[in-house]
Amino acid sequence: MNALRGQLELWRLHLAVIVIGAIAELIGIQKIPLGIGAILLLPLLYAFVMAALMNPNLMPKFGKIIRQKEVQAASPLIVVAIMPFIAKFGTTIGPAINTIIEAGPALILQELGNLGTIVLAFPLAVWGLKMGREAIGATFSIAREPNLAIIADRYTLKSPEGTGVMGVYVIGTLFGTFIFAILASLFASSNLFDPRALAMACGIGSGSMMAACTGALTEVVPSMKDEILALAGASNLLTYATGLYAGLFLALPIVEKIYNATAGKKDLANASRTEG
């Protein structure tokens, strides 16, 4: 009863969700031709933008409608909202188990892509943006929940490394779905990559990003909808299973060693000057 009463007190939040969802569905899917491909704007993207604009932390004038109480309650409800979608993936993995087995080596090897953040993001963070030890937390992974746990256990989230991983986590939550939907629709419509490869790339360990990515792919290649959902779901599960260990035993030690061997020397020099 207390839980029900608490949800009834959040009627502003539930009403906003219903209104935003209805508006997003009325707008529907919009296709924007772009060079060799096209960008599909999905209802999920409109809902994301509208919800972000109603956040009183971004737009204070909406504080009279959506209060801090509703903002704090919305975060854990994301997990509840995504559960039916994840359950649907479970129903598609079973019938497509033969396809998943055939793609087994590719599914496993694509997890090495999680180390791509070290190659691409670390140099930019350290030498381009001049970040300190925040770069370790920000670039050793894609900063999803398992990666937060690693940094929290190793350094605590109040450390510079914790600040880095939390910064990327927040940005990924805010803009990840939007970017994934655009990239997926653009690459799929360009015919540069096999839709199955793109489906596996959707499973990075984030339910919302996977939803946006697979939604865009299935709109471009509707004939492969079941296969796309199955491969993306399997890839996402593997990312959760292997991503934690890859981050803990491979990515984080590599980033630490590179940082200590390069930028870490500057930290020691600055510390010596401060003490002097």
pLDDT of amino acid 85 = 59
pLDDT of amino acid 205 = 74
Within a domain: 14 = no
Give the global pTM. Answer: 0.63
Q: At what angle do helices 160-190 and 43-53 cross, to 10 degrees?
A: 150
Within a domain: 20 = no
Within a domain: 211 = yes
Find the mean pLDDT for residues 155-161: 86
pLDDT in tens, 25-39: 898 877 776 555 556
Say how far apart CA 240 and CA 145 lie, in whole Å. Answer: 9
pLDDT of amino acid 253 = 92
pLDDT of amino acid 139 = 92
Q: Which residues pair with 32 in a beta bridge?
A: 39
Q: Which has the higher per-residue pLDDT, 270 or 221?
A: 221
Within a domain: 107 = yes
pLDDT in tens, 193-211: 888 888 888 887 777 778 7
Look at residues 267, 178, 271, 188 and name the one whose alpha carbon lies nearest to residue 223: 188
pLDDT of amino acid 252 = 92
Residue bearing tokens 């296969």:
227
Q: What value does the mean pLDDT of the chain take? A: 76
Instruction: Report the percent of the chain where pLDDT is more than 90.
Output: 7
Within a domain: 240 = yes
pLDDT of amino acid 116 = 81
- pLDDT tops 60 at residue 261: yes
- Residue 177 neighbours by CB under 8 Å, 6+ apart: 44, 45, 48, 208, 209, 211, 212
Within a domain: 271 = no
pLDDT in tens, 94-150: 665 666 666 567 666 766 777 788 888 899 998 888 888 999 999 988 887 778 878
Within a domain: 112 = yes
Q: Please, is 180 exposed, middle or buried when counting C-beta atoms within 10 Å of its C-beta (0-12, 13-18, 19+)? A: buried
- Residue 250 neighbours by CB under 8 Å, 6+ apart: 115
Q: Which has the higher per-residue pLDDT, 98 or 270?
A: 98
pLDDT in tens, 1-56: 555 565 566 777 888 888 988 998 898 877 776 555 556 676 777 887 888 788 77
Domain of residue 202 covers 76-266
pLDDT of amino acid 48 = 77
Query: What is the total count of domains within the chain?
Result: 1
Within a domain: 55 = no
- pLDDT tops 50 at residue 276: no
